[in-house]
């Protein structure tokens, strides 16, 4: 708000009000009484001015006049918030894109070593990578102290530091997660074979099927979000966005 322009705008109407209420005349009389050292007139005029100002204060407290600049301030706040949200979306989106690329490269390298050069069908490879990503997110996000350190790093708004932290945390878990999923997919057997794949359908299959299917409306609390199925970077990036989705611990999906 431009305070100089605000004061300039209200100066004339304020003076007219004070003049109409007699305060200007009273202050002139008080000045004359002080110059003439007439204590009785000083006391009387000072009392008039004091009572007027105290009454004005009480009136202002009880009667809230509309703020003529309220709309301007509200628009300015909205614009500032939109700029902040856009910066936040850009930051989280950039970090997520860089992290995904680096983590996928690490997973692919580990997979090549675990499979020892064996070829597997493309559909199997895609499902395997999907399961590895889900397992890696679960193991990494639920590690002791990770959530607190993650939030501290992201608050710094330093994309390079954020990427280094997330990738380093994932890197520690990638070998174990890849070996585990390769075994569960029965791909660690004899050379040249693809093994017997575990069931990935929606019916009667493994404990890792997506399940659920029920969608609920409304943004959930962070405590209710299942970060084994919801990317935490995406979740935090969506906190200031009007729309988003997340898996819940009860197996349902929330959309808003």
For the question of whether the overall pTM of this predicted structure is more than 0.85, the answer is no
Counting DSSP H helices and E strands in the chain, the numbers are 8, 3
CA distance 181 to 132: 7
pLDDT of residue 180: 92
Q: What is the model's pLDDT at position 213?
A: 52
The confidence score (pLDDT) of residue 1 equals 54
With bands split at pLDDT 50, 70 and 90, how would you rate the model's confidence at 192?
very low
**How much of the chain is in helix, strand and coil states, percent to nearest 5?**
65, 5, 30
Lowest mean pLDDT among 51-55, 125-129, 133-137: 51-55
pLDDT bracket for residue 65 (50, 70, 90): low
| CA pair distance 249, 234, nearest whole angstrom | 17
The model's confidence at residue 209, banded by pLDDT at 50, 70 and 90, is: very low
End-to-end CA distance of the chain, in Å? 35
pLDDT at 173: 95
pLDDT at 62 over 70: yes
Contacts 24+ apart (CB under 8 A), 191-198: 191/116, 191/118, 192/118, 193/118, 194/118, 194/120, 194/121, 194/124, 197/124
Instruction: Please write the tens of the pLDDT for every residue from 86-128.
Output: 989 999 999 999 999 999 999 999 999 999 888 888 889 899 9
Strand partners, 216: 254
- In tens, the pLDDT along 170-179 reads 999 999 999 9
Average pLDDT over residues 34-54: 88
| Cα 1 off chain centre by | 27
Looking at the DSSP assignment, which residues form a beta bridge with residue 174? none
Orientation of helix 122-141 relative to helix 146-155, angle to 10°? 90
């Amino acid at each position: 708000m431009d305070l100089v322009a605000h004061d300039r705008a209200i100066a004339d109407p304020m003076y007219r009000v004070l003049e109409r209420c007699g305060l200007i005349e009273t202050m002139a009389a008080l000045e004359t009484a002080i110059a003439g050292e007439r204590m009785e007139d000083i006391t009387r005029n000072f009392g008039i001015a004091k009572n007027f100002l105290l009454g004005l204060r009480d009136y202002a407290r009880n009667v809230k006049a509309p703020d003529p600049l309220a709309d301007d301030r509200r628009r300015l706040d909205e614009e500032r918030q939109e700029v902040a949200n856009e910066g936040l979306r850009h930051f989280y989106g950039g970090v997520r894109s860089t992290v995904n690329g680096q983590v996928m490269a690490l997973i692919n390298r580990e997979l090549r070593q675990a499979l020892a050069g064996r070829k597997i069908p493309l559909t199997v490879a895609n499902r395997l990578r999907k399961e590895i990503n889900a397992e890696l997110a679960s193991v990494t996000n639920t590690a002791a102290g990770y959530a607190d350190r993650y939030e501290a790093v992201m608050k710094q708004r330093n994309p390079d530091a954020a990427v280094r932290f997330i990738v380093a945390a994932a890197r520690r878990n990638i070998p174990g997660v890849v070996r585990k999923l390769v075994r569960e997919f029965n791909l660690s057997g004899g050379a040249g074979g693809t093994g017997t794949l575990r069931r990935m359908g929606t019916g009667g299959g493994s404990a890792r099927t997506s399940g659920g299917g029920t969608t609920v409306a409304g943004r959930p609390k962070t405590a209710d979000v299942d970060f084994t199925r919801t990317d935490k970077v995406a979740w935090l990036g969506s906190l200031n966005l009007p729309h988003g989705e997340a898996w819940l611990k009860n197996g349902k999906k929330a959309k808003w």
